[in-house]
Structure 1
Amino acid sequence: MILRKLRERSGSPELGGPAIHVGSRHLRVGGGVCQTLLVIGYPRDVSAGWAEPLFSYPGQLDISFHLDPVPAPTAAQQLRRRRARLESAHRTSTAQGRVEDPHQVTAAMDAAEIADRIATGQGRLFRVGVYITVHAPTLEMLDGHVQQVRALCSSLLMDVTPAMFRAVEGWISTLPLGTDAVGTARSMDTDAVASMLPFSSPELVADLGETTVVYGINTHSSGLVAWDRFYGDLDNHNSVILARSGAGKSYLAKLEVVRSLMVGVEVTVIDPEGEYTRLADAVGGTVLRLGSPGQPGLNPFSLPPATEDEQGFTTRALFLHTLIGAMVGDLSTTDRTVLDRAIVTTYAQAGITRDPATWNRAAPVLGDLAAVLEELATAPDTEEGFARAAQDLVGRLEPFTQGSHADLFNGPSDSTVGGHLTVVSLRDLPDEMRPVGVLVALDAIWRHVTTRAEARPRMVVVDEAWLLLQDPAAARYLARLAKAGRKHWVGLTVITQDVGDVLGSALGKVVIANAATQILLKQAPQNLDMAREAFQLSDGESHLVGTAPRGSALLVAGHQRVGFHPVASPAEHRLITSDPAELAALRAEEEDPYGGVPEPPDSEAKATGGQEVDG
């Protein structure tokens, strides 16, 4: 049937027509020739990625794997018969005084081990057929390629044989049809099958778990680069992505976010430019637009449940000191004393004390703190120095309590961080307000990821991190998250385009040093020497990150280095692209999905072919 369809497609009534010519070993198709090799022997002991040299062969090869699971009862019966034959042959040879055959003994041991694994449910048995079709423009070049492929297979301890008088069947078996027309298969268990699949890179050796993410295709071979930040013996779950502007760092970060969501990782993003909102809307995530009119804010006075933080009152008071310091500038010793007294009084007026039983009451807001400071400034029993300090703080806090962005800090906490994806957008915040907004967002995220309610892998993505590192308070919070995140199963992803600012500050170096996974895209020439020294890059690796095409990256994890290029599916690309031309085309498509073509008729007209029917 398949041959008949191929003849019909080629327009030739005969098999030997101009489109397909069949020889004893080769097949002439579409202006070229090809020959199929059947894999009939495999090495006994292999490691992950052992067949990678075959997948990265520079010529044109079509390699197909045909996996047919064998039912457990049938597998057990086959293994029992095989063990009986092998043990019987061994006993016969021993009785006749023959020299022990090591291959026979090894085969019996392997059959017994596989039988035990299948009986205990640790593996399954498969019938595996592997076929290699070699392509070339001419028959002479084909002979040379076939010899090279056979030599390569021999170096991998694989036995191959040409598909004699079955050239068509071999070719069909390597087409993406899922059809094994040859039927030359061997029995293998789960581990052996997994080691053959091209889902690993030989340059990258790592333990992969349930949260494995495919980053892209190895730039030095055709293997896939897969990495798991939350599993294995990594020092921490953190990652840094460093690149110059336009190198594709946000694209890679969003691709990792999408694929992390698929494997059950909870993701929270601090998004300075609103790049992740389309992605969040598409996957049903939550978007907190700080500073946007009518949008909910985050109240820094809100207390956590006592079950999550027994020191919640003290923690809130200390954070309020940090936050107000970021709002109004440096605080003197007198300012801090007055502020501490005002914070405790503000909570007390709301009925909240150090007793956890009072923490479920409505929390005060920043305006309440300003009112308490005003009372301290005008109270007759307040010392003159304290009164001046209190009045000064009231004036410096006025933009945040009565200004245009008072709703962000001077209202109840109507929004929370949580869910499978939360994006905190800072796009609507003015530049001078962003350090404060980032600090509030980081505090809310830290409070969420340290909750004891549910233990699950979480990822915190901070895009354009150089904006945070410019503010000392936000930089300290980022460094704290980088250091202590592992204890709470949290991985911090720091993305920045200004490598000099990150490596030029002490807290930036702390963030880099506490990232077990480091990804370098194309670097600016002026930052190349700094990146080379910080990440201990070789001459070849420095050349790679200095001349990498857009999107290509170098993954550095300790002594392991591998170059890769991220590849997204069309559906993923639509969600993560930030190219203005593509975004404009997508918006136009959403507004006019039929591209100017009249909208199709309604269901009744469709049923009648679009024509009116009488009666």
Structure 2
Amino acid sequence: MTLAVTGYPAEVLPGWLEALSAYPARLDVALHAEPVPPQVAADKLRRRRTRLEAGRREGAGRGQIEDPQVESAAQDAAELAGRIARSETKLFTAGLYLTCYADTPEDLAQLIDDVKALLSASLATAQAPTFRMLEAWQTTLPGAPDRIGQVRILDTAALAACVPLTSPDTGESGAVAPSAVLAGLSAVTGAPVFRDRWAQANHNSLILGVSGAGKSYLAKTDLIRELCTGTIGAVIDPEGEYVALAGAVGGRVIELGLPCGALNVLELPHPDASGPCELASRVLDLHSLCAVLLGAERAERLRPALDRAAMGAYRAAGISEDTASWTRPVPDLAAVARQAAAGFDPAATELAGLLEPYATGSYAALFNGAQPEGVQEPPLTVYTLRHLPDALRPAGMLLVLSRIWNGARHGERRRMLLIDEVWQLLQDEAAARFVLRFAKSARKYRLGLSLATQDVGDLLGSELGTAVACNAAIQILLGQAPQALARVTDAFDLTAGERDFLATAPRGYALQRTRTGRTALAVIATPDEEPFLHTGI
């Protein structure tokens, strides 16, 4: 038998129909919704407000006291009309139908009474459509149209509250924010689990798992879904695993180490998008880069000479603190090396010799170049390191971090940077310090950092690596190697049950830790996403 909901409560919480979908009996719940055109919605509300106002004035003319229900209805209608005019919400015609199944008439009657009692507990009512049971049953079939037409006008928020999907893993109070993305399904209840990095204390996440546990699969699904919410994405890709994904979403691939993939650490922003001290900031980025290339101790000793050479290169190019001069071609690392070689200071001469392989030698393809101007920023930019030798990978990653950091400081949209195999960057102390500064300050500029690694030792084996891990508000742990399990258990304060789960977790299963709790989940993807997610399996 099919019931049609005829009365709705005045106020509900999200997922108020969860009791019906979770009821231990066969019960089909069908929700039919159709948007009302904005002009039609505005006309309906105007007529309703006119009727309410006419009734209020008629009562006042007769000397009657104000009816609180009429006043409340008029106020609600006026508020809803304003929200529709501001495009903050829309109206829908919605019909809710329930089909109950049982083996005997007695069991069916009992089930119907139970369903009506559940609805009554929420201040809702339901009736069987007399003489239209066939059409009512057809209405609850998958993909069927509404053949009953027992509808009610609901706004967007009220309609969303009728979706019978909620669980302790869905979000606070069962609500799902527009910026949240689907993380997977609960490994315990099968309910959807959502993740909202933009609602956390910081926007960073850490993905930690042994090779083959599904680390890249999870990182890619998270990235794709963030792109769907309007976030601008960037990836530091050591092995070219994200190139196909970039092509699928209309992104761009920059292959570091090739002439077309050179980055210039001294590149300045457009004068209209610049902030104070940009010139000094670029010189500081150059100092960080040289600390990776030359070693922290040697770079510190040569810091004055490098600073003079960098400022001299800017002056030789006609660039000063005046932003009007920033439209001129900027110097590159080769120009800095030439300025150092022109000096008479022994430190400058030493600096010029040390920079020669990177400025004019065999490694110059990474450092001397600029990205084309006037190109619209794509939704996803992948920086692949597969053409870089291992010795230059930390420097290449640092160049990308610097570029993304400077872009985020002058942009307004949310951005997400995914660093795959971040252990390669954390091996260098200067690069690790840059990542830590990045992780601590990214939230100020609506920037989220996603770190994925399989090497627990390099991440947790140093104070800097541990600090980077602690600055991730979202920590996602996949299956762990037996040798690393004890360290992971101590570092993330896991219970015995959580430790056992990670020790035996199948591929694609993970433990997600946020400020709201811990959830064991299974990562899922759509058929359209699948072709771009697998790596070597």
* Structure 2 counterparts to residues 23-172 of structure 1, below 5 A: 35-57=1-23, 60-68=26-34, 71-72=40-41, 73-74=43-44, 77=47, 111-122=73-84, 126-134=92-100, 158-160=124-126, 166-172=132-138
**Inter-partner Cα distance in structure 2 for 1:425 and 1:88:** 74
**Inter-partner Cα distance in structure 2 for 1:528 and 1:174:** 49
Q: Deviations over 1:549-595 (max 9, x none)?
A: 33233433213344443433222222x322446xxxxxxxxxxxxxx
* Corresponding residue for residue 557 of structure 1: 514
**Inter-partner Cα distance in structure 1 for 2:80 and 2:460:** 53
RMSD: 3.8
**Inter-partner Cα distance in structure 2 for 1:171 and 1:199:** 22
* Corresponding residue for residue 300 of structure 1: 265
| Cα drift, residue 64 of structure 1 | 0.7
| Cα drift, residue 65 of structure 1 | 0.4
In 2, are the aligned partners of 1:297 and 1:415 still within 8 Å (CA)? no
Distance 1:363 1:139, change over 3 A: same
**Inter-partner Cα distance in structure 2 for 1:330 and 1:494:** 24
* Corresponding residue for residue 466 of structure 2: 509
1:577 aligns with 2:526: no
5+ residue gaps, structure 1, are 1-34, 96-104, 582-615
Match of 2:366 among 408, 411, 422: 408
What secondary structure, in the 3-state scheme, does the structure 2 residue paired with 1:570 have? coil
* Corresponding residue for residue 364 of structure 1: 331
One-letter code of the match for 1:577? Answer: L
1:314 aligns with 2:280: yes
More displaced, 235-244 or 279-288? Answer: 235-244
One-letter code of the match for 1:445? Answer: I
One-letter code of the match for 1:225? Answer: V
**Inter-partner Cα distance in structure 1 for 2:505 and 2:24:** 21
| Structure whose alpha-carbon radius of gyration is higher | 1
1:225 aligns with 2:184: no
* Corresponding residue for residue 289 of structure 1: 255
* Corresponding residue for residue 324 of structure 1: 290
Q: Deviations over 1:441-498 (max 9, x none)?
A: 11111111112xx422111221222221112222122112211112212122222223
More displaced, 465-474 or 160-169? Answer: 160-169
One-letter code of the match for 2:450? Answer: T
What secondary structure, in the 3-state scheme, does the structure 1 residue paired with 2:11 have? coil
In 2, are the aligned partners of 1:363 and 1:412 still within 8 Å (CA)? no
More displaced, 392-401 or 421-430? Answer: 392-401
| Cα drift, residue 268 of structure 1 | 1.5
**Inter-partner Cα distance in structure 1 for 2:203 and 2:187:** 24
More displaced, 537-546 or 465-474? Answer: 537-546
Match of 2:479 among 522, 525, 528: 522
1:211 aligns with 2:179: yes
* Corresponding residue for residue 601 of structure 1: none
In 2, are the aligned partners of 1:244 and 1:498 still within 8 Å (CA)? yes
Q: Deviations over 1:20-46 (max 9, x none)?
A: xxxxxxxxxxxxxxx434434444432
Structure-2-length-normalised TM-score = 0.82
What secondary structure, in the 3-state scheme, does the structure 1 residue paired with 2:288 have? helix
1:341 aligns with 2:288: no
What secondary structure, in the 3-state scheme, does the structure 2 residue paired with 1:299 have? coil
**Inter-partner Cα distance in structure 1 for 2:440 and 2:312:** 34
More displaced, 460-469 or 51-60? Answer: 51-60
In 2, are the aligned partners of 1:288 and 1:415 still within 8 Å (CA)? no
In 2, are the aligned partners of 1:49 and 1:202 still within 8 Å (CA)? no
Paired residues in the alignment total 519
What secondary structure, in the 3-state scheme, does the structure 2 residue paired with 1:66 have? strand
* Corresponding residue for residue 416 of structure 2: 459
What secondary structure, in the 3-state scheme, does the structure 2 residue paired with 1:461 have? strand
In 2, are the aligned partners of 1:274 and 1:425 still within 8 Å (CA)? yes
One-letter code of the match for 1:444? Answer: R
Q: Deviations over 1:371-408 (max 9, x none)?
A: 444444xx5xx4xxx2xx55544444343234433211
Match of 2:204 among 238, 249, 260: 238
* Corresponding residue for residue 102 of structure 1: none
In 1, are the aligned partners of 2:49 and 2:78 still within 8 Å (CA)? no
* Corresponding residue for residue 195 of structure 1: 161
